[in-house]
Amino acid sequence: MPLSEACGVVGIASNKQVAYQLYFALRSLQHRGQESAGIATFDDRIKCVKGMGLVHEVFQDNPTDLPGTYGIAHVRYSTTGSSKLENAQPVVASSQEGDIALAHNGDIVNADAIRKELKKQGWAFITTTDTEVMIRLLADEFSNDRDLGRSVRNLMRKIVGSYSMVVLLKNRILAIRDPQGIKPLCLGKLPDDAGFIVASETVALDVVNATFIRDIEPGEMVEINNKEFHAYRIASAKHTAHCMFEWVYFARPDSILGGKYVYDVRRCFGMKIATENPVKADVVIPVPDSGRGHAQGFSEVSGLKYEEGLIKNRYIGRTFILPSKESRELNVQLKLNVIRSRIDGKKVVLVDDSIVRGTTMRKIVDLLRKAGATEVHLRIGSPPIVAPCYLGIDMKTRDQFIAVNRTPEQIATELGADSVGYLSIDGLVECIGIPRNDLCLGCLTGEYPVDIPGEKARFQAKLF
């Protein structure tokens, strides 16, 4: 179990009140962030309600104090900016044409440099997020130009990094995706021709009975209203850089990314692992919930019986999202419990999506040993994580990765397992079905799709 991911976004333009649709869409994206949630709607003016905690905790299942037929929403896990209320989104800023609200998924790698430059010019900032940097720049551009499309284009020329964002200005909603499409964003049509929705994942469309139209393209800006949508290509890149971890872990298995159900891709990962890393054992056990698709595929190819040997407490959130190492460790025992009858006396293949720090996996292996497993073989549905992510995942230093400078045998010893087998990069790429040069594999290869100081860029011969 890895990492933390930076947020989920939704935007809805309708001829009906949108607060409840935004609320349910956000709940379907809760897996993308559990620190804070917020909704902003327009009804003569922008009204924004946000708070710390899960969606239903922030709104207490009753977002009716947010009138309006246009709105955007956000769930957050912090990667840039600390975990506190003032950093919750959407963020609202003023312009000469009225208030603008913005919600964002991703990381802007030059946000600190832009912030420092703007402070020299006398700008003051309320939050520590890259989102505030973006909305302040956008509001400034729009106040000077009054053309929102050109203002977005100018903003995109200044920022570097990953971003899928939604912008609310009066009765206008814009959805913008970075030129390399690092973070997902999709477009759908509401039922009864009521309007349109944009969201990080298709599950947000499903929950409001919207029809999936298509993914928003990298570098594209889509404007939606309650009757139609308009698409504009704002920027382009020679290669895309879709984050491979969306398929490995972040996205819900019932979402569609790149034309495929995420579950089907994860099942393919498991099938590849079984081919690449066979093992003699009695049973295949997934780490719930993210390892299920991988384990199913491994079972099908290996011929080993698939069993549910670990039961997840449904009322506990994703372990990786907890902000401190201590809370993550304590939460494992609360989150998972073993069905001893499925484990005792058996050679177990334990399948999970990834290993980053190894803290959680070490405790799970120990749980299986105590339940009587005679052998524990780990099979991991992604290649080894060996480099930081600067584009939306909370892992910025190499010293936290268990795979750095360790062989699989050494990793197995470190985790208390009998063996460890990883999915190959070639297997990963084949299952996703997108060319290697159009995926972001930075955390696997140390080569990044955007310029990051001190790091190697993709297709760069050497680091100067």
Domains contained in the chain, number: 2
pLDDT number for residue 350: 98
Domain shared by 32 and 159, yes or no = yes
- Asked if the structure places residue 455 within a domain, the reply is no
Burial of 447 (0-12, 13-18, 19+ CB in 10 A): middle
Question: 């594209």: which residue's tokens?
Answer: 220
Task: Calculate Rg over the CA atoms of the chain.
Answer: 22
Domain shared by 369 and 282, yes or no = yes
Domain boundaries, position 274: 256-447
Domain shared by 203 and 296, yes or no = no
- Asked if the structure places residue 120 within a domain, the reply is yes
Domain shared by 233 and 351, yes or no = no
pLDDT number for residue 464: 40
Domain shared by 308 and 189, yes or no = no
Q: What is the pLDDT of residues 311-323, one digit of tens each?
A: 988 776 544 445 5
- Asked if the structure places residue 2 within a domain, the reply is no
Domain shared by 145 and 180, yes or no = yes
CATH number at residue 208: 3.60.20.10
- Asked if the structure places residue 435 within a domain, the reply is yes
**CA distance to 157, 173, 175, 197, per residue, from 193 (Å):** 35, 17, 19, 11
CATH number at residue 381: 3.40.50.2020
- Asked if the structure places residue 319 within a domain, the reply is yes
Domain shared by 180 and 38, yes or no = yes
Domain shared by 339 and 404, yes or no = yes
Three-class DSSP category at 402: coil
Domain shared by 151 and 220, yes or no = yes
Say if CB 255 and CB 203 are below 8 A apart: yes
Q: Which one-letter DSSP state was computed for residue 457?
A: E
Q: Which of 7, 186, 268, 431 is catalytic?
A: 7
pLDDT number for residue 399: 80
pLDDT number for residue 331: 65
Below-70 pLDDT ranges, the chain: 1-6, 78-84, 316-331, 396, 460-464
Domain shared by 347 and 294, yes or no = yes
7 is catalytic: yes
pLDDT number for residue 326: 59
pLDDT number for residue 82: 52
pLDDT number for residue 78: 58
> Which of 209, 237, 265 delimits the end of a domain?
237
Domain shared by 443 and 302, yes or no = yes
pLDDT number for residue 2: 39
pLDDT number for residue 395: 74
Domain shared by 385 and 275, yes or no = yes
